[in-house]
Amino acid sequence: MAVAKYKIVRKCPVCGEEFFARTLESWYCSPKCSKVAWKRKHDEEKRQLELDKIVSNMPKSKEYISITEAYAMFGASRSTIYRLIYMKKISFIEPEKGIRLVCKGELMNLFPLRQSPLDTKPRKPVTMYRMEPEDCYTIGEISKKFHLDDSTVYAHI
């Protein structure tokens, strides 16, 4: 990996600390923050898969659903659903002590269905670039345009 001769100041998305990026691909200030970011992303993907599994196992004809199923289906937090119950905005039944089932139809009027963040980012198709001389820059043109050394531009190619 080529190291830049110019300074790139970035802010770490995990800890918020400003740092000088050593390469163009550096986004985290330390390996520790990089591992924390990977773990957060991995846990979020795992949580989304579990919610999708709950929704797929739920029968479509159910009129009343549990709080967990409502959370998985609509993405509204448990505390929001409980608050709506206490404000009497949605009806519920309590078949056993401590188990509440809320009306799915009323929740559908209040909330849209949960969108999976894994599916919202479609992959871009691979584009073919034209490598004609009139469509390309020379190393000298790049170094003049961005005020860089020729060796820095060459190191990043």
pLDDT at position 113 is 79
Q: What is the mean pLDDT of each run of 10 residues along the chain (157 residues)?
A: 72 92 86 95 91 84 87 88 90 85 89 65 62 83 88 83
pLDDT at position 83 is 92
Beta strand pairing status for 18-21 and 8-11?
A: antiparallel
pLDDT at position 153 is 84
Nearest to 20 by CA among 33, 2, 7: 7
142-149 long-range contacts (CB < 8 A, ≥24 apart) are 148/5, 148/6, 149/5
In the chain, where the domains are located: 58-121, 123-157
Its pTM stands at: 0.55
HSE, CB side, 13 Å, CA atoms: give it for residue 13.
9
Maximum alpha-carbon separation in the chain: 76
pLDDT at position 40 is 94
pLDDT at position 118 is 46
Tokens of 67: 């709080």
pLDDT at position 124 is 62
pLDDT at position 154 is 84
pLDDT at position 38 is 94
Instruction: List the beta strands (DSSP E) in 13-117.
Output: 18-21, 64-66, 92-96, 99-103
| Angle at alpha carbon of residue 114, lines to 112 and 119, rounded to 5° | 130
pLDDT at position 12 is 92
